Structure 1
């Protein structure tokens, strides 16, 4: 009877060409959540395909790819499994497809088309994903992403009862969103699609995961807390599911929760030998430790990251290796340490830019404008490389770093008015865009740095406004409290200074740091 029912389902989807509703089903492998993506493949292949999708929705690409291959062994005519392989080769859709994966993904799509899927729905999925691979050597990545979004919108509209179509459309809305759109129209649209699906499928890993991505923006981050608090429980075996909630925790300044999430993520990633996931989570871990003034713990994680040897094609790992030591120096105001950071060659210009920025900022803050200018010149070269490669987003991010470095070079040279104008422009440029998911944040928010520059020039009122604007966007930052308290103190507002210092002291209650700013905060609170 079961075989007859399965055959009837295949016949229905083949005849009418629609996708069956994708309701998650129970399975013995429940530590990755529950997913059901209805296919026309045989029963064994269907079970394996569903299992692969559980890995896929938690961005566990190597595992999902292997299981799609198992589905093909069970049913060589399961064309949609080649779609799954091509999907896994995208890696994290929020970044460019790794160059070695592009011909492999194209080959998988071509194989899917050559076999010929049994249903129109499956053919539509394959045709949509083909956009990300066909003519990849001629069409820029972002152009392909926008075309893919249109295809997924059409697919979701054509199959309104297929939850998987809606889920993939929702995350693509986030991937294709403009970082300059502060209304977050795409993101809120995607979240509105997923929220009711989550009510129907509370154990679906992709729904919780993608809601976190869709809400991973300053003004809407609090909306992502329910998903952040649930995702790691839905898929406890997935390293990414342990890490991903910390995106929201970072946005709202929940540092202890972020630490717990990323300790679990790093442990899970180590157990599965997923070095990219491990280093990505550890970069977030360093950031959180530094906000609590737990500098020794941060240093220990930095040392572990620096000792790791990831492959050359892992962008997340390369970024973590560059960002974590730079972050450790900049957050603590160790400008001499920043100057001495070593440049590690990378195929990713924006990875090397992180280190050059920290070095240039450190040199300028140390009064060595010549060294700062040399590193800023390297930043300009890297920005231009990214522009030439039509990597518009990262070219813009590196340009903000360059503007910031040049502002502090002007300041080091005594050109204070020009420096303030340049730093204000850098802050505006950073505020007009969004951070990439690969990072918990910039080495230091540009507007926060602007606040310290204003404070140093005796412009306490303007400095306080800058710090408060930064704190509204990035709450519970250690240096945000330091700057705001100092500005209030300079304005003679002892009550506000004390209240802000008290927040800093409470934040760093478990600190092992010898930062002078923390000692000053404790002294001020004690004497007032």
Structure 2
């Protein structure tokens, strides 16, 4: 049965900020055209939870599903929704025990009268939180959703979750074939419902690279309007804008997203971890690419303040990334952030690699060969130890539990590139240009095999750009121009590479 639902009712503010929004107080989150077997008293909360789920607002979605359960303890799909809020496929995260606990609430309920569609959705979630390692469960779930898509070809929610499952079944990095398949499902969904938040959201993720990004510009422009009250939806268009080098749009998207996260934090009386450091990271990078270094410096100062106030894993991880981006993009190594030290406890290999790379760069600039060698050795030893935690498929060996940030082969590969770059810097300090070139070419080759990495670069300095700068310093202008252009193929309109190409052209005049 189809029912048109447009959730655009203005928010009703309460004098008590901790009071949950009423079922009717649903804001701009997108449109649903499908109706599930949910009682009238629980329906609005359930549908709000479903919309929030598609917008990756997992905590708020869970709250909505729990409210639906309170209003109707027999609302089976509200328990399904709660379980789904613990699965974050594109973030490679799953809170396994919590998801199982949510599904266990269904056990005492009478399932004899449940509709086949709902039964199939619940079966899918039981696969996600069932036996086997996470990769196997993700693959099995995607196959299940493929079968559902064949059985319910017109159902928009089936299509949305199938599209997401295709992307979520890719264990490491980006698989172009799979992402294109996900895009086709999302496009078919949007042909029926142009304002479906999942269709827009998953299409953007599917086309999030410089080759395909132009195909999602319309979706990017629409999504932030369709789901204007979702912090993540306001950020998501910048994935496409960054992939094509539209820096002003990257900035505006992430200003909106970060401001929305401030509003949510204040409204729900949450701590600083409710702030979208993710949007702040992208905002800073956008300013850096526009050459607005003062604005980027202010954001860096704000981030250091957040880390001082609440030094959570999230704050520290983003702080490290933003420190590296600021120093490398501006060349302002005298900024106070250069001396800011982050506690590394509990952080992942790529964050630790960035710390050693930044320290190595600082040592290189100061001519401290021993300090540079120490940073490189610490990084290489860390990579060796971390490799023991990854299996032959490049997946974490402990991926069935609830740990969020399990290391994978891509993490190791990105860290390895930074280690190669440090070796190249060591060779430069040793006045060994042949060895420096050898290590830079190894870094270029290794990084080029990793595929496109969306967002501000994890490898803080693109290897092609580092090599181009070295070639230019050694008067090999034609080669330098080639490698600056290679940088721009993967990072359109990246400021340092754009300026590099221009300088090469001027030298050749």
2:104 to 99, 110, 114: 110
Aligned to 1:285: 283
Which 5+ residue runs of structure 2 have no aligned equivalent?
A: 10-25, 391-407
**Are 1:419 and 2:436 an aligned pair?**
yes
Tell me what 2:356 maps to: 356
Deviation string, structure 1 residues 168-197 (Cα, Å, up to 9, x no partner): 111222233366667x11111111111132
Spell out, residue by residue over 1:358-406, the C-alpha distance to the aligned partner (whole angstroms, 9 max, x if none): 2223323443222122222232243234423322221222122222222
Show the counterpart of 1:43.
40
The two structures, once aligned, show a CA RMSD in angstroms of 2.5
Task: Report SS of the residue matched to 1:131.
Answer: helix
In structure 1, the residue corresponding to 2:212 is in which secondary structure?
Answer: helix
Deviation digits for residues 218-243 of structure 1, max 9, x if unmatched? 21111111111111110111111111
Partner of 1:66: 63
Moved more, 336-345 or 278-287: 336-345
1:335 Cα shift? Answer: 4.7
| Secondary structure class of the residue paired with 1:25 | strand
Which of 62, 73, 77 is residue 76 of structure 1 equivalent to? 73
Distance in 1 separating the partners of 2:42 and 2:100: 22
SS in 2 for 1:80: helix
Aligned equivalents of 1:145, 1:295: Cα separation in 2: 42
In 2, Cα distance between equivalents of 1:288 and 1:111: 45
Deviation readout 1:141-180 (Å, 9 max, x if unpaired):
4443333322322332232222111111112222333666
Contact 1:322 1:355 in 2 (8 A): yes
Q: Quick one: distance in 1 between partners of 2:429 and 2:189?
A: 55
In 1: Cα distance, 2:234 partner to 2:504 partner: 38
Question: Which residue of structure 2 lines up, in the alignment, with residue 407 of structure 1?
Answer: 424
**Cα distance in 1, alignment partners of residues 254 and 122 from structure 2:** 35
Does 1:477 pair with 2:473?
A: no
- Distance in structure 1 (CA, Å) of the matches to 2:368 and 2:135: 39
User: Secondary structure at the residue paired with 1:35?
Assistant: strand
Structure 1 segments of 4 or more deviating over 6 A?
310-313
Partners of 1:143 and 1:362 in 2: CA distance: 43
Deviations 1:428-452 (A, max 9, x none): 2222224555746542222111111
Aligned to 2:412: 395
User: Which residue in the other structure is 2:378 paired with?
Assistant: 378
Q: Given the superposition, is the C-alpha separation of residues 407 and 158 from structure 1 closer, same or farther in structure 2, using an over 3 Å criterion?
A: farther
- The aligned length equals 464
Residue of structure 1 equivalent to 2:227:
235
* 2:418 and 2:459 in contact (8 A); partners too: no
Structure 1 counterpart of 2:213, from 213, 218, 221: 221
CA distance in 1, matches of 2:363, 2:136: 39
Is 2:23 the partner of 1:25? no
- Matched position secondary structure for 2:426: helix
Residue pair 1:343, 1:352 contacting (<8 A) in 2 also = no
2:218 and 2:239 mapped to 1: Cα distance?
A: 13
What is the rounded CA distance, in whole Å, between the counterparts of 1:114 and 1:424 in structure 2?
62
Match of 2:471 among 427, 444, 454: 454
Question: Counting helix residues as a fraction of each chain, which structure ranks higher?
Answer: 1
Give the SS at the match of 1:115: coil
1:497 maps to what in 2? none
Superposition map of 1:114-513 within 5 A: 114-115=108-109, 117=111, 118-135=114-131, 139=133, 141-177=134-170, 184-273=176-265, 275-276=273-274, 278-309=276-307, 315=314, 317-335=315-333, 340-349=339-348, 350-390=350-390, 391-434=408-451, 439=456, 442-490=459-507, 492=508, 494=509
Structure 1 pair 150–387 and aligned structure 2 pair: CA distance change class (3 A): farther
What is residue 14 of structure 2 aligned with on the other side? none
* Inter-CA distance 483–393: structure 2 relative to 1 (3 Å threshold): same
Q: TM-score, normalised by structure 1?
A: 0.81
Q: Which residue of 1 aligns with 2:21?
A: none
Q: 2:498 & 2:4 partners in 1: Cα distance?
A: 45
Seen in structure 2, the aligned counterparts of structure 1 residues 393 and 277 have a Cα distance that, compared at 3 Å, is farther
Q: 1:299, CA displacement in angstroms?
A: 0.7
Equivalent residues of 2:130, 2:137 under 8 A apart = no
State the secondary structure of the residue aligned to 1:382. helix
- Within 2, Cα distance between the matches of 1:443 and 1:116? 54
Q: Which has the higher contact order (CA 8 A, sep 6+)?
A: 2
